[in-house]
Amino acid sequence: MEVHHNGHAASSTAVRDTETALYTALWHACAGPFVTVPRAGELVFYFPQGHIEQVEASENQAVGQQRPIYNIPWKILCRVINVQLKVDPGTDEVFAQVTLFPQSNQDENTVEYEPPPPPPRFHVRSFSKKLTASDTSTYGGLSVLKRHAEECLPPLDMSSEPVMRELIAKDLHGNDWRFQHIFRGQPKRHLLTSGWSGFVSSKRLVPGDTFVFLRDDNGGIGVGVRRGMIEQSNDPIHLNGVATAWEAISSGSTLFTVHHRPRFTGTIMRIEDIDPLRWRESKWRCLEMG
């Protein structure tokens, strides 16, 4: 029997797998080093208060922390069914779309649970830089530390004149960006020049934002941003989403979806119950960060 191997299909699959791994690594780099995202199969708690706060922020109006309407407990144990890592098209803020399934057994101490296997390792070289006023001017370039340039950027031919190389990078939206990496000046330093001003303008970068760069072992390059100030998302979240979640919880047989926007870090200053009347003993936002 003669067996024909479809080399093209295998190659295409390998390319897609690499692109997916690069996207995932870039998403996590843009989210920040202290951010964790649940994985499919894990058990998590759903906090209705947080969902309602997302509605208030999206619709720019208070909805009254309407626990009495639904009579929702302050936490619901759920299993993660699916996680999609996404990026806001208007603000470049990363978020995770998480599909949850409420557990019939709400006692986290007795529910059966087997953690999912760890994700495969994907090696990248990366650096991030908090942007200055000089970096975000539309007539200049991005200054890159010597250590970051040598560890993360593709190598330069130091015998050429001028010493420069074109880089083609992809952002989380799948857009290609072309930069010129040049080594020049007195004293000489590494700069991203041509293409940088267009990137700054398109992403509306300001001082305090962070530029993220990474490169994988196959030469794939990703670039992204992490905002210094949280921008209002253009993605609408409506109160009926909370109702849908509660219907799923009540029936015990329906999936529901939430958006996870992980941005808060700091030092715990104290613990308090922020709404003891409507959400007694709730752990949602009970930590005051300094």
pLDDT digits (tens, 9 = 90+) for 38-58: 999 999 988 877 766 665 555
Residues 11-43 pLDDT 10s: 556 556 778 899 999 999 999 888 889 999 999
Q: How far apart are CA 173 and CA 30, in angstroms?
A: 13
Q: Is 210 helix (H, G, I), strand (E, B) or coil?
A: strand
Least confident segment among 105-109, 146-150, 164-168: 105-109
Structure tokens at 152: 């993360």
- Got the DSSP string for 219-270? S-EEEEEE-SSPPPPSS---THHHHHHHHHHHHSS--EEEEE-------EEE
pLDDT value at 175 more than 90: yes
By C-alpha distance, which of 31, 34, 40, 44 is closest to 95? 31
Q: How far apart are CA 32 and CA 45, in angstroms?
A: 22
Least confident segment among 11-20, 62-71, 174-183: 62-71
Query: Cα 67 to chain center, whole Å?
Result: 29
pLDDT band at 278, cuts 50/70/90?
low
111 with 102: CB under 8 angstroms?
Answer: no
Phi, psi for 98 (deg, rounded to 5): -115, 125
Cut 0.85: pTM above it: no
Homologous superfamily of 124-226: DNA-binding pseudobarrel domain (2.40.330.10)
Q: Give the mean pLDDT of 146-174.
A: 93
Helix, strand, coil shares of the chain, percent, nearest 5, are 25, 30, 50
Residue ranges per domain, the chain? 11-118+231-289, 124-226
Question: Which letter does DSSP use for residue 160 in this model?
Answer: S
Q: How far apart are CA 143 and CA 132, in angstroms?
A: 10
